Amino acid sequence: MSRKLVRVTHRTTGIPIAEGPIGWGITPFEGNLYIRKKYLLTGRLTPNFIPGLCLYKFLYVWLDFKLPGGGRSRNLGWLYWLPNPLLPFIWFRVAIPRTHPELIVEELESGREDGASLDPG
pLDDT value for 50: 95
Read off the pLDDT of residues 20-79 as tens digits, 9 standing for 90 and up: 999 999 999 999 999 999 999 999 999 999 999 999 999 999 999 999 999 999 999 999
Which sign does the torsion angle of CA 32, 38, 40, 45 carry?
positive
pLDDT level of residue 3 (50, 70, 90 thresholds): confident
Q: What DSSP string runs through 62-91?
A: EEEEEPTTS-EEEEEEEEEEEE-TT-GGGT
- pLDDT surpasses 90 at 94: yes
- pLDDT surpasses 60 at 114: no
Give the residue from 85, 88, 110, 84 showing the smallest Cα distance to 27. 88
- Report which residue type is found at 33: L
* Domains of the chain with CATH codes: 4-109 (2.170.150.40)
Mean pLDDT of the chain: 91
pLDDT value for 109: 87
pTM over 0.75: yes
- pLDDT surpasses 50 at 101: yes
**Cβ within 8 Å of residue 61, ≥6 positions away:** 47, 48, 49, 50, 51, 52, 78, 79, 81
